[in-house]
């Protein structure tokens, strides 16, 4: 794979276009990214971003939902969308010969959705079923509960799928205003990777966005310096106890993000990680145990998840604290650091063989207001991480901010908890 920076153009409309040409492929991974997510909702809007994402697929004045689906099937292409805490994306992978047609349809969906009241009513039910399915999945739901505990009243704690009361009450006029305020040129980014020629792509986008409203960019100046430290047990009659522990993380684009990645890999990001080896391999207490990071603009979090038998929940929590204390008190071994670096580099290089990953990476980098780096530059940054960098990051995250605990399972309140030793 070639190693180059993406080409970038800001059109007169304010829409940004990024692309990376990959000569070895015949397809294009195309994404339309809108800089709006659940973090940008107030309490009366929780879930409208996600509902609106669904409604983009319900038709435009020129094509109904079935015709959109048939068009992408005819092109042999896929079409999907996603809503996150800080952005919404509509994306496709399409053969080079059909790129212009894909751009035409997707921009029609994004810039001119019907938002028909009948479609809103039917899709409202779809979203409510999606939320119900999520509520029946404690291994997923526990992450939302942890976010609610950590961020409190801040919108970063909102469940991306939405609040059922808000979804049930949503009407056409409020959704149309919500859409008009957010789907504007200053918040739209187009990213494409694969068999794509940049200037031609820009012309395609320019032809579709000439009359789009510039609008106001997203403003996120409400970042919290650190999350709250709280614990809660949510009783549910399940076979397992689903456990999440969280603490302060780093913001998106933080200069220590490469050391952050190495620390996370050593803690619980691989089969040789400390958590995996201690809790699964040595103790046999879990099938799934891992750590993860959540980086947002101006703020972030770290988390650990484990699913275990309810009778072993407290032991897993204690062992998790033991692993974290071991890192805090004794540091890391040189072979752990080297192994984590190699794992990160290998995963990165393998992921970059997929044009969809390359497209997503450049879009997220741009939305994070970070510098675009080549793969070689990222590898160099990872290789330059030393133990001092990791110690500093640990103290800024797990080691210095307290922790929150969320548990879902057949467990009574007060029967499990953190010791506070961190």
Q: Please indicate, yes or no, if residue 396 is contained in any of the structural domains.
A: yes
Angle at the Cα of 406 from the Cα atoms of 400 and 409, rounded to 5 degrees: 150
161 lies in which domain range?
A: 7-209
Indicate if 237 and 346 belong to the same structural domain.
yes
Indicate if 180 and 44 belong to the same structural domain.
yes
Indicate if 254 and 388 belong to the same structural domain.
yes
Indicate if 54 and 139 belong to the same structural domain.
yes
Contact by Cβ (8 Å): 233, 415? yes
Q: Please indicate, yes or no, if residue 237 is contained in any of the structural domains.
A: yes
369 is annotated as an active-site residue:
no
Indicate if 16 and 106 belong to the same structural domain.
yes
Indicate if 257 and 350 belong to the same structural domain.
yes
Q: Please indicate, yes or no, if residue 224 is contained in any of the structural domains.
A: no
CA separation for the pair 153, 148 (Å, rounded)? 8
Q: Please indicate, yes or no, if residue 226 is contained in any of the structural domains.
A: no
pLDDT at residue 251, rounded to an integer: 96
Indicate if 239 and 193 belong to the same structural domain.
no
Average pLDDT per consecutive 10 residues, the chain (422 residues; last block may be shorter): 84 97 96 98 97 98 98 98 98 98 98 97 98 98 98 96 98 97 98 98 96 94 93 96 98 96 98 98 98 97 98 98 96 96 97 96 94 94 96 95 95 91 72
Indicate if 295 and 162 belong to the same structural domain.
no
Contact by Cβ (8 Å): 348, 379? yes
CA separation for the pair 302, 263 (Å, rounded)? 11
Q: Please indicate, yes or no, if residue 357 is contained in any of the structural domains.
A: yes
Q: Please indicate, yes or no, if residue 169 is contained in any of the structural domains.
A: yes
Indicate if 241 and 147 belong to the same structural domain.
no
pLDDT, tens only, 146-191: 999 999 999 999 999 999 999 999 999 999 999 999 999 999 999 9
Give the domain CATH number at 203.
3.30.830.10
Q: Please indicate, yes or no, if residue 2 is contained in any of the structural domains.
A: no
Identify the active-site residue in 45, 53, 123, 336: 53
pLDDT at residue 23, rounded to an integer: 92
What is the sign of the dihedral through the CA atoms of 57, 62, 64 and 66? negative
Q: Please indicate, yes or no, if residue 221 is contained in any of the structural domains.
A: no
Q: In this structure, what is the dihedral angle of CA atoms 347, 352, 353, 354, given to the nearest 10 degrees? A: 110
Indicate if 202 and 246 belong to the same structural domain.
no
**What share of residues in the chain are helix, strand, coil (percent, to 5)?**
45, 20, 35
């Amino acid at each position: 794979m070639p190693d180059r920076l993406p080409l970038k153009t800001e059109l007169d409309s304010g829409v940004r276009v990024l692309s990376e040409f990959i000569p070895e492929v015949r397809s294009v991974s195309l994404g339309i990214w809108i800089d709006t997510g659940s973090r940008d909702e107030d309490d009366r809007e929780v879930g409208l971003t996600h509902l609106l994402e669904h409604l983009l697929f319900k038709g435009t004045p020129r094509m109904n939902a079935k015709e959109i689906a048939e068009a992408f099937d005819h092109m042999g292409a896929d079409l999907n969308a996603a809503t996150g805490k800080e952005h919404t994306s509509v994306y496709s992978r399409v053969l080079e010969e059909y790129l212009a047609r894909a751009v035409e349809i997707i921009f029609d969906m994004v810039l001119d959705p019907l938002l028909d009241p009948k479609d809103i009513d039917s899709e409202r039910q779809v979203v409510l079923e999606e939320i119900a399915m999520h509520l029946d999945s404690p291994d997923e739901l526990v992450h939302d509960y942890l976010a609610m505990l950590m961020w409190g009243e801040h919108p970063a704690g909102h469940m991306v799928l939405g609040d059922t009361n808000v979804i049930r009450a949503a009407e056409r006029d409020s959704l149309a205003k919500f859409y008009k305020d957010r789907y504007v040129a200053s918040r739209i980014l187009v990213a494409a990777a694969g068999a794509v020629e940049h200037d031609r792509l820009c012309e395609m986008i320019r032809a579709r966005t000439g009359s789009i409203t510039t609008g106001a960019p997203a403003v996120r100046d409400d970042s919290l310096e650190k999350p709250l430290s709280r614990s809660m047990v949510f009783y549910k009659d399940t076979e397992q106890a689903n456990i999440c522990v969280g603490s302060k993380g780093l913001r998106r684009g933080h200069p220590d993000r490469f050391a952050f990645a190495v620390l996370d890999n050593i803690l619980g990001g691989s089969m040789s990680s400390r958590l995996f080896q201690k809790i699964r391999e040595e103790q046999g207490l879990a099938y799934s145990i891992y750590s993860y990071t959540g980086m947002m603009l101006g703020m972030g979090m770290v988390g650990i998840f484990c699913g275990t038998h309810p009778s072993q929940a407290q032991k897993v929590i204690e062992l998790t604290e033991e692993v974290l204390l071991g890192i805090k008190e004794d540091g890391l071994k040189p072979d752990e650091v080297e192994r984590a670096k190699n794992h990160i580099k290998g995963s990165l290089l393998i992921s970059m063989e997929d044009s969809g990953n390359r497209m997503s990476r450049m879009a997220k980098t741009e939305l994070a207001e970070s510098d675009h780096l080549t793969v070689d530059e990222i590898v160099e940054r990872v290789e330059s991480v030393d133990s001092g960098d990791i110690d500093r990051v640990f103290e800024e995250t797990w080691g210095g901010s307290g922790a929150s605990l969320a548990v879902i399972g057949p467990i009574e309140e007060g029967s499990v908890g953190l010791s506070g030793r961190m």
